[in-house]
Amino acid sequence: EAEVAQSPRYKITEKSQAVAFWCDPISGHATLYWYRQILGQGPELLVQFQDESVVDDSQLPKDRFSAERLKGVDSTLKIQPAELGDSAMYLCASSLAGPGLWGTGELFFGEGSRLTVL
Amino acid sequence: SQQGEEDPQALSIQEGENATMNCSYKTSINNLQWYRQNSGRGLVHLILIRSNEREKHSGRLRVTLDTSKKSSSLLITASRAADTASYFCATVGFSGGYNKLIFGAGTRLAVHP
C-alpha cells in the first residue's frame, strides 16, 4: 500500500541550529501539505503546494521557515535558526485532488517528524 | 487558526461501551472529515461527510452532520481498547480561491479493558 514517507522520525537539535525535514508523497498526488502539531493540539497548516507551486503559506513563519517542492514531487521543510518554541511534530500529507473547487478530499499522512529543540 | 472545536476534550470509557464525540464549526463547509491519531503517529482518515449528507456509516463508525447547527458527531459503537487514540474533526471550506482543510483540537479517547 502506498505511503507518505517522512524523515527523520526524530530530531533533537539545539536552538539557533538549522534543521530540515523531508517528505515524499504518494505517487501521483498533486497536493502536498506540511502541518505542525504541538503536543495536545490539532495540526496547523504551515504550507500547501499544488504541484511545485505554493497555494497557501499564510501561517508559515517566513523569517525562519522555508519550504520547497522542486519538480512537484518530494518536499523539504527547513527551519533556520530553530527556537525552543519550534518543538513539535511536523506532519506531511498528500492528496490526489488539487485545491480547486473539488478538493479537499481525504488526506494521507506520513508518520511525522518529532522535533525537540534544546 | 482552528475552526472545529471538539467536545469533550477527553473521554474515558470501558470496552464495549459507545463513544460519542462532537465537533462544532463556525463557517459554511463543503465537507467534514474525521481523522484518528495514535500517540506519536500520523493521522489516519476515517470518514468524510459532504455538506448535503446527514449521516454516514463505516463499520462501527457513525457520523452525523447538522449544517443548520454547524455541528457533527462521531459515534464509535462497541468500543475496543484498540480504539484508544485522539480523534480530530476537519472542516473543508472555500476560502481565498480554493478549498481549505482546518483541524480542530481533538478528543482524546481512552478505552479501558
Instruction: Give B78-93 as a 3 state SS string.
Output: CCCHHHCEEEEEEEEE
pLDDT of residue B2: 52
B112 part of a folded domain = no
CATH of the domain at B18: 2.60.40.10
B110 belongs to a structural domain: no
Grid cell, residue A71, equals 519538480
How much is the pLDDT for A102?
59
Q: Is residue B91 part of a domain?
A: yes
pLDDT at A24: 97
Q: Which residues of B touch A24 (CB under 8 A)?
A: none
Q: Report how far residue B17's alpha carbon sits from residue B42's, in angstroms, rounded to the nearest whole number.
A: 26
Give per-10-residue mean pLDDT for chain B (113 aa): 78 97 93 95 95 96 97 98 97 84 95 96
Closest-approach residue (CA) in chain B for A38: B105
In chain B, the number of structural domains is: 1
The pLDDT of residue B73 is 98
Distance from CA of B10 to the nearest CA of A (A): 11
Nearest-angstrom CA–CA distance, A75 and A68: 6
Cβ–Cβ below 8 Å for B100 and A104 = yes
Inter-chain CB proximity B99 and A101 less than 8 Å: yes
Residue B113 covered by a domain: no
Task: Identify which of A104, A110, A112 has the shortest CB distance to residue B101.
Answer: A104
Q: Which residues of chain A have pLDDT under 70?
A: 98-103
Structural domain boundaries enclosing B93: 5-105
Of B96, B74, B98, B82, which Cα lies nearest the Cα of B4? B74
* A5-117 placed in CATH 3.40.47.10: no
Pick from B29, B36, B56, B98 the residue to mutate for testing the A interface (most A CBs within 10 Å). B98
The reported pLDDT for the residue numbered B8 is: 94
Q: Which amino acid is at A96?
A: L
Each residue of B20-55: b (16+ CB within 10 Å) or e? bbbbbbeeebbbbbbbbbeeebbbebbbbbeeeeee
Does residue B33 sit within a domain? yes
Instruction: Report CA-CA distances (Å) from B49 to A58, A76, A97, A104, A105.
Output: 27, 32, 17, 12, 10
**Chain A environment of B100 (Cβ under 8 Å):** 45, 56, 99, 104
